Amino acid sequence: MNVLVDTSIWSLAMRRGENENKAVSKELTELIRELRVQIIGPVRQELLSGIKTDQQYQELKKALSAFSDIPLTQVDFEKAAEFFNICRKNGIQGTNTDFLICSIAYHHNLEIFTSDNDFGDYKKYLPIKLYMSPRGAIVR
C-alpha cells in the first residue's frame, strides 16, 4: 500500500542528530526506494515555507520535484470539510491541511505516515489508516 507522508515526517527526516530522526529518515528512505511515497501540494508548500536561504530552498525544491503531487479535486475538499465537522462535533480540533490529508488518504486508499499525535485522535472518528512501520521506525 502506498503512503501519504505528512509534513512532520519529512521535517524529522531532514533534521540531523537524534536517534528518532535517524529511524524516521531510514523508514522514509525505504518507502522511497519501494516507490510507495505520495505527497500533496499543501505538504510541499509547508515544507518549502520558511526556508532560511535561497540555496536551501532550491535544493529542497529540487529534491521534492522527484515526487508528483496527487491531484486535488472538489470531492477531496468536500470530504475534508466533512471530516473536520465530524471531528469538531466530537471535540477534536485540527488543521485544514490535516483534514485534507485524511480526505486524500481515504479517497486514494493510502496510509498516513505522520508523527503528529492528532492523527490518532482523528482515527477514532474517521475511516483513515495510519502507517505502522514493519521495520521498527519510531512513529508516534
Residue 138 lies in a domain: no
Over residues 105-119, the pLDDT tens digits come to 999 999 999 999 999
Residue 136 lies in a domain: no
Over the chain, what is the mean pLDDT?
Answer: 91
What is the total count of domains within the chain?
Answer: 1
CATH of the domain at 33: 3.40.50.1010
CA distance 58 to 29: 21
Over residues 15-61, the pLDDT tens digits come to 765 556 788 888 999 999 999 999 999 999 999 998 999 999 999 99
Over its C-alpha atoms, the chain yields an Rg (Å, rounded) of 15
- pLDDT reported for residue 4: 98
- pLDDT reported for residue 20: 61
What does pTM read for this prediction?
0.91
In the three-class reduction of DSSP (H, G, I as helix; E, B as strand; rest coil), residue 38 is classed as strand
**Residue 67 carries which DSSP code?**
S
Residue 135 lies in a domain: no
Domain residue limits at 55? 3-130
Give kind and range of the element (H or E) at residue 51.
none
